[in-house]
Amino acid sequence: MSTKALDPAFQGVGQRLGTEIWRIENFQPVPLPKSDHGKFYMGDSYIVLQTTPGKGGAYLYDIHFWIGKDTSQDEAGTAAIKTVELDAVLGGRAVQHRELQGHESDKFLAYFRPCIIPLEGGVATGFKKAEEEAFETRLYVCRGKRVVRMKQVPFARSSLNHDDVFILDTENKIYQFNGANSNIQERAKALEVIQFLKEKYHDGTCNVAIVDDGKLDTESDSGEFWVLFGGFAPIGKKVASEDDIIPETTPAKLYSITDGEVKMVDGELSKGLLENNKCYLLDCGSEVFLWVGRVTQVEERKAASQAAEEFVVSQNRPKATRITRLIQGYETHSFKSNFDSWPAGSAAPGAEEGRGKVAALLKQQGVGLKGVAKSAPVNEEVPPLLEGDGKMEVWCINGSAKTPLPKEDIGKFYSGDCYIILYTYHSGDRKEDYLLCFWFGNDSIEEDQKMAARLANTMSNSLKGRPVQGRIFQGKEPPQFIALFQPMVILKGGLSSGYKNSLAEKGLPDVTCTADSIALLSISGTSVHNNKAVQVEAVATSLNPAECFLLQSGSSIFTWHGNQSTFEQQQLAARIAEFLKELL
């Protein structure tokens, strides 16, 4: 099928970087104006094209079709079919993703900051648009540390629990309810969402209130909040729902798709099984890949996409099961890693490629590296962040030993100490990759620095030399390193015995910041890449109108916003204040 026979709405697409969106209206894709990006109606289906730069000036394409929970089956099917047509216009090399409302991928949600908030109604369904109705009080549960997943829940006390963060959006005030067991990062993300709601739906004029679980003051915002729910009463435990079911990863099984019929393929998984005139389904449990041969026709690809949808339904898979479609020659590493045999030059560089990406992240700002083979490809065009679901472990050097930091202290550094950081993550295959760094505070002593390097080398050897190693100096942290901590706070002084002894020998005062100290922290960052707070001298001359500052005085924390500071800096200040409160 020639591109001339495809939908005219797709003419000229993919010629610029960024996001393009179409909504399915009367079974046809209609371009969505940029002012409506991020606005998704539950009764509709959408197609989202993300164009990013690739090597040699080429463009890379990801196509997502988003299915609202109230959309009709016919419209959802239209979105899937039109996605195949859009890919044909782009030369048949895009990676395609199915996104179900409430189960969107992190990749998709990252296009819309701070979040998407699905709205009741829809154009194609004939529902009334939300903004055409009188203001309605809404309760949302807010989840996610890197990206935010917002879900509207019934406005009732029974919806609340101790484990999540909730946002109650009323006409004159927006409340944030922090469950007692909720996560610090999720609380901070909720603040970003509240500011978004305030600016977009309240013209920036409504008040904002924070309500902490278990703290009731009838004369305060807490009292107002509970009155809206009919008065204070104990709330129940979190109740698991279908949406909370996490799909399990299972050993990969390969199926061929012929005329819409799915048949198991026997034998060891190898690239040789994949014929370029056919479509195949690779079932990995939590994700289902649809592989499309290069010489298949558009109609065959449409039928295969429909067969993949029906396969997931027939297997009674959870809604969160991913469906990803790949064209021959543009396979992702996560797909290739499931095959026992994939020709050298395709899969073999994969593990080293992941290490090369990490090396590229740390290459900035003079970070010393070791443990990367000279032949490893170092791709400078890397994602801005490492995989966000890794395991973080941090140790502080004390004499000849390393002391593990408790989880709540990870992200807090002292300028007089040295630290070892081990970040364990999966770079798309099933094996673990490691980032192993040692961080030197500006005031740390030489003995601690040498011990940190020695112990880190021992750890690397115990992991068979697989970690990429980095030596990082205070003030020279690459942004991707900072982003791992969310946030990173650097305080004066140190806790190691070597640092303390050095001060005593030199007759210098110990200025180590403690819970009882008066400490002023400067915040100049504007995003997760540079959200670092550094303690400065607690004097008025330290204040800068272009930055935000936090003042810790005993158990109290005060926020100061420079009149030239950005909204992002002010959000970051609120997030770091939450982090410090947990430490006091």
| Count of domains observed in the chain | 5
Question: Are 402 and 505 within one domain?
Answer: yes
Q: What is the pLDDT of residue 37?
A: 87
Question: Are 497 and 452 within one domain?
Answer: yes
Question: Are 443 and 504 within one domain?
Answer: yes
| Domain annotation covers residue 306 | yes
Q: Is the confidence at residue 451, as pLDDT, over 90?
A: yes
| Domain annotation covers residue 168 | yes
The residue among 88, 122, 156 that closes a domain is 122
* Structure tokens, 233: 């009463």
Please compute the mean of the pLDDT values over residues 53-68 and round it to a whole number. 83
Q: What is the pLDDT of residue 362?
A: 47
Question: Are 448 and 548 within one domain?
Answer: no
Least confident of 50-59, 300-309, 325-334, 417-426: 50-59
248: DSSP letter: P
End-to-end CA distance of the chain: give it in Å, rounded: 66
Question: Are 280 and 390 within one domain?
Answer: no
pLDDT band at 402 (very low <50, low <70, confident <90, very high): very high
The structure's pTM equals 0.53
Q: What is the pLDDT of residue 6?
A: 62
Question: Are 30 and 97 within one domain?
Answer: yes
| Domain annotation covers residue 212 | no
CA count, 13 A, side-chain hemisphere, 8:
0
The residue among 185, 202, 219 that closes a domain is 202
Q: What is the pLDDT of residue 345?
A: 47
Counting Cβ atoms within 10 Å, is residue 134 exposed (0-12), middle (13-18) or buried (19+)?
Answer: exposed
Cβ atoms 584, 575 nearer than 8 A: no
Distance CA 229, CA 175 (A): 12
Q: Is the confidence at residue 298, as pLDDT, over 90?
A: no
What is the per-residue pLDDT across 264-295, written as a single tens digit (0 to 9) for each?
998 888 888 999 899 999 999 889 999 999 88
| Domain annotation covers residue 111 | yes
Higher pLDDT, 126 or 528: 528
What is the per-residue pLDDT across 30-46, written as a single tens digit (0 to 9) for each?
999 988 888 889 899 99
CA gyration radius, the chain: 26
Question: Are 574 and 496 within one domain?
Answer: no
Question: Are 315 and 418 within one domain?
Answer: no
Question: Are 502 and 525 within one domain?
Answer: no
| Domain annotation covers residue 131 | no
The residue among 310, 337, 364 that closes a domain is 337
Question: Are 26 and 95 within one domain?
Answer: yes
Question: Are 162 and 272 within one domain?
Answer: no
| Domain annotation covers residue 246 | no
* Structure tokens, 463: 């992991």
What CATH number is associated with residue 317?
Answer: 3.40.20.10
Q: What is the pLDDT of residue 120?
A: 79
What is the per-residue pLDDT across 511-532, written as a single tens digit (0 to 9) for each?
998 877 888 999 876 666 677 8
Distance CA 170, CA 221 (A): 13
Q: What is the pLDDT of residue 4?
A: 43
What is the per-residue pLDDT across 214-264, written as a single tens digit (0 to 9) for each?
887 766 788 889 999 988 888 888 776 666 667 778 889 999 998 888 999
Q: What SS3 string covers 174-225?
A: EEEEECCCCCHHHHHHHHHHHHHHHHHHCCCCCEEEEEECCCCCCCCHHHHH
Q: Which of 74-78, 172-176, 545-549, 572-576 has the highest mean pLDDT?
A: 172-176
Counting Cβ atoms within 10 Å, is residue 252 exposed (0-12), middle (13-18) or buried (19+)?
Answer: middle
Distance CA 157, CA 227 (A): 11
Q: What is the pLDDT of residue 376?
A: 36
Range of the domain at 36: 13-122
What is the per-residue pLDDT across 140-166, written as a single tens digit (0 to 9) for each?
999 887 788 888 888 999 999 999 999
| Domain annotation covers residue 224 | no
| Domain annotation covers residue 190 | yes
- C-alpha distances in Å from residue 563, one per residue of 516, 526, 545, 548, 550: 29, 15, 5, 9, 15
Question: Are 91 and 146 within one domain?
Answer: no
- C-alpha distances in Å from residue 261, one per residue of 281, 293, 326, 451: 11, 16, 19, 62
Distance CA 237, CA 266 (A): 47
What is the per-residue pLDDT across 309-321, written as a single tens digit (0 to 9) for each?
899 889 888 877 8
